[in-house]
A = this chain, B = another copy of it.
Amino acid sequence: MTTSPRQIKLGAFLMQTGHHIAAWRHPDAQADAGVNFKHYVELARRAEAAKFDAVFLADSVGVRNRNIDSLSRTARSDHFEPLTLLSALAAVTEHIGLIATVSTTYNEPYHVARKFASLDQISGGRSGWNLVTSSGEGEAQNFNLDAHVDHAQRYARAAEFHDVVLGLWDSWEDDAFVRDTESGVYFEPEKLHPLNHRGEHFRVRGPLNVARSPQGRPVVVQAGASPAGRDLAARTAEVIFVAHQTFDEAQSFYRDIKQRASDYGRDPDQIKIMPGIFPVIGRTQAEAEEKFARLQDLIHPIVGVQLLSNMIGGFDLSAYPVDGPLPDLPETNGGKSRQQLLIDLARRENLSIRDLYLRIAGARGHQQIVGTPQSVADQLQQWFEEEGADGFNIMSPWLPGGLNDFIDLALPELRRRGLVRTEYQGHTLRDHLGLHRPEHRAVVGRRLSQAA
């Protein structure tokens, strides 16, 4: 890998019909995107031609929304499983990274280690695992539980899960498999390292039945913003996917994580922080706003009210007039929590229920930019240059149109400023992101013992 100036990392967040809650109704969207493989092939190839670092797939292991009136009006209940989809995309792309979300809560580390190692082999070193925990009841009830697992439990399990997966990825040294047909030696026994893990949540003997993969280990991505999430990420994540609404929030998070990583003895440059950005781009500001208004108009009130009900803590607003004020709500115990911020906002600006859901229905917690190529580039440049971000996950409002707008309108401006790559310089996702290929732990151990 050649050294190059620091440039913005770009992920293409491929959320079926798009990130906006009503995207599927957009005339240029692909309404059946969730089960349309060609749609994803075109998106991945388009993002690759634009030299994105990776495509990024979210996930949930169940249908989360239980309100049938709202659920039946959103495109969130049928979609490909991420690892099967990314494996298929691996066969029709050459350079772009492939990041899939897989939860640690209702899974076993052996399966997860194996699938990402396999994808890394299939793709020639392009796989990344977005490690998350599952908090929804809709998911728990698909896995023999009545209620979801509590937060501390989930994070304790996630941390051990991570360590087991990394251990399994080091089951074999890079040069273990000599495959000498003459002598009949397929691998060198001393380069096999069973894991023999016995912990609180898992007992896993190993070894993994996949050779060490092209990247050594697939890239580990995380998204936690809670204190437990930040701590786990600072110790273990190589990429952090996060949602911020303001630059100050982004900068404070960025500095906190880099400091925590440093405290763990890690090189802070080896954690790439990539907030989500929800861009609606027009050649003029008026065009951008018109595009956004067009999407907003497509939100069915039932969907908007249900979304808002969820975000203010599950209080059902469906019985109140949608153009009337937010009713008095029970006190939340989160102080300045996100839900309290929403309530305060409604009071301060005298917003109706409809006004309020329109504020949140687009970006849903991520930074929303409705603007021109210049204003989008200005904002990304500021975040990137002033310790707010190492790159961005582009949460296209609708697909493929929203991604095409970013590529056709904003990327040329970012290229002109020298802020993004014009060609891939390496072959693996680690190469793209500027992440070192990790040495095998046995090799590190031998070097340390020789030095002693």
Contact = CB atoms under 8 A, between A and B. Distances in A.
A342 interface: no
Contacts of A90: 88, 91
B111 A184 contact: no
A213 to B, nearest CB: 8
A379 interface: no
A252 interface: no
A75, A77, A106, A172 — most chain B CB neighbours (10 Å):
A77
| Size bracket of the A interface | 35 or more
Nearest to A25: B181
Contacts of A144: 108, 202-204
Given A91-B92, A106-B108, A186-B24, A115 B72 contact: no
Nearest to A139: B110
A60 B209 contact: yes
A84 B83 CA distance: 7
A61 B26 CA distance: 44
Contact of A122 (B26, B84, B111): B84
B80 A83 contact: no
A31 interface: yes
A205 B139 CA distance: 9
B32 A79 contact: no
A88 B120 CA distance: 12
Contacts of A37: 91, 121-122
Interface of A: 22, 24-27, 31-32, 34-35, 37, 41, 60-63, 68-69, 72-75, 77-81, 83-85, 87-92, 106-108, 110-111, 114-115, 117-119, 121-122, 138, 141-146, 172, 177, 179, 181, 184-189, 192, 202-207, 209-211, 298, 300, 303
7 contacts: A72-B187, A78-B210, A84-B119, A110-B142, A142-B206, A144-B202, A184-B303
Given A37-B91, A41-B91, A75-B186, 17 more contacts: A22-B184, A37-B122, A60-B209, A62-B209, A68-B189, A68-B192, A74-B186, A77-B187, A78-B172, A84-B87, A84-B115, A85-B87, A108-B143, A142-B205, A142-B206, A144-B204, A184-B298
